Amino acid sequence: MSPREICAAIQTAEWDAAKLMRQPHDILAESKTDHRDLVTQYDRAVQELLMERLSAALPGARFFCEENDRHDDLQAEHLFIIDPIDGTMNFVRRLNHSAISVAYTRFGRVEAAAVYNPYVDEMFSAVRGEGAFLNGKPIHVDPAPLGETVICFGSAPYNPELTERTFELARRSYLTGLDVRRQGSAALDLCSVAAGRAGAYFELSISLWDYAAGALIVSEAGGQVTRVDGSPLPWTGAKTSVLAAEAGKAAEFLEMAK
Ligand code: LIP
Determine what percent of the chain falls in helix, strand and coil, rounding each to the nearest 5: 40, 25, 35
CATH of the domain at 114: 3.30.540.10
In which region does residue 87 sit, left (phi positive, over 0), alpha (psi from -120 to 50) or beta (all else)? left
Contact 220, 132 (CB under 8 A): yes
Give burial (CB, 10 Å; 0-12/13-18/19+) of 39.
buried
CATH of the domain at 246: 3.40.190.80
The reply to whether 90 and 164 lie within a common domain is no
pLDDT digits (tens, 9 = 90+) for 95-134: 999 999 999 999 999 999 999 999 999 999 999 999 999 9
96 contact partners, CB below 8 Å, separation of at least 6: 90, 119
- Which atom of ligand 1 is nearest to 88's Cα? 15
pLDDT digits (tens, 9 = 90+) for 165-191: 999 999 999 999 999 999 999 999 999
Helix (H), strand (E) at residue 227: none
The residue among 87, 106, 139 that closes a domain is 139
CA of 214 to the centre of ligand 1 (A): 13
CA angle 12, 14, 18 (to 5 degrees): 125
Give residue 236's pLDDT band: very low, low, confident or very high (50, 70, 90): confident
pLDDT digits (tens, 9 = 90+) for 40-64: 999 999 999 999 999 999 999 999 9
The reply to whether 120 and 176 lie within a common domain is no
The reply to whether 171 and 43 lie within a common domain is no
Nearest CA to 45 out of 78, 11, 22, 64 is that of 22
The mean pLDDT value of the chain amounts to: 96
Q: What is the pLDDT of residue 173?
A: 98
| Residue 118 one-letter amino acid | P
The reply to whether 42 and 106 lie within a common domain is yes
Q: What is the pLDDT of residue 33?
A: 77
The residue among 110, 139, 168 that closes a domain is 139
Domain that holds residue 68: 3-139
Residue 221 pLDDT more than 90?
yes
Helix (H), strand (E) at residue 1: none
- Which atom of ligand 1 is nearest to 66's Cα? 16
The residue among 139, 157, 190 that closes a domain is 139
- What's the domain count of the chain? 2
CA distance 114 to 97: 16
Q: Is the dihedral of CA 154, 159, 163, 164 positive or negative?
A: negative
The reply to whether 132 and 34 lie within a common domain is yes
Residues with CB under 6 A from ligand 1: 66, 83, 86-89, 154-158, 184-186, 203, 206, 210
The reply to whether 153 and 127 lie within a common domain is no
Contact 216, 110 (CB under 8 A): yes
Nearest CA to 189 out of 204, 179, 199 is that of 199
Q: Where are the alpha helices (DSSP H) in 22-107?
A: 41-57, 88-92
The reply to whether 185 and 233 lie within a common domain is yes
